[in-house]
Structure 1
Amino acid sequence: MAEQMKWQDLEPSRRAGVVTLAAVQIALAVAAWRDLARREAQDVRGPKPLWAAIIAVNWVGPASYFLVGRRRHA
């Protein structure tokens, strides 16, 4: 089994990349939770508590919420 790399073993550019991706992921989740909280229940496909939990799943959750979870009105 491969040995796990430690944070201090990463090159500075890789550390910056990890921090940047983490910040983007967190910002996307916060934006999704904020939108969910402000949106009326009838404007969400499915139960809001379920979407709140789904949003917590990595990149997939917020992307799924924005692509599928919100109802769009014409």
Structure 2
Amino acid sequence: MGRKKSWRDMSRGQRISVLASGVVNLALLVAAQRSIAKTPDAQIRGRKAVWRAVCFINLLGPLSYFIFGRRRDVV
């Protein structure tokens, strides 16, 4: 196994990729948490506390909330 790359060992492109993915992850987390706070309980599948915890799973948590956690009732 290779050793783990440190920040200094990364190329400029790799550093930018790491920072960009971190920003996207943080933005999705904040958006999901705000949505959970503002959405009524009846419009969320399951308990809000569970979705809040799930959202802290990198990238997959917020995406799963937006895809599966919100009810989209057809009027």
Q: TM-score, normalised by structure 2?
A: 0.94
Q: Could you tell me which residue of structure 1 aligns to residue 70 of structure 2? A: 70
Q: Give 5+ residue unaligned stretches, structure 2.
A: none
Give the 3-state SS of the residue equivalent to 2:24 in structure 1: helix
State how many pairs are aligned. 74
User: Runs ≥4 in structure 1, deviation > 3 angstroms?
Assistant: none
| Identity rate, percent | 38
Q: Give 5+ residue unaligned stretches, structure 1.
A: none
CA distance in 1, matches of 2:23, 2:50: 24
Aligned pairs for 1:1-74 (under 5 A) are 1-74=1-74
Give the 3-state SS of the residue equivalent to 2:46 in structure 1: coil
Offset, 1:43 = 0.6
CA distance in 1, matches of 2:73, 2:31: 20
Corresponding letter in the other structure for 2:56? A
Q: TM-score, normalised by structure 1?
A: 0.95
Offset, 1:73 = 2.4
| 1:44-74 deviation per Cα after TM superposition (whole angstroms, max 9, x unaligned) | 0000000000000011101110000001122
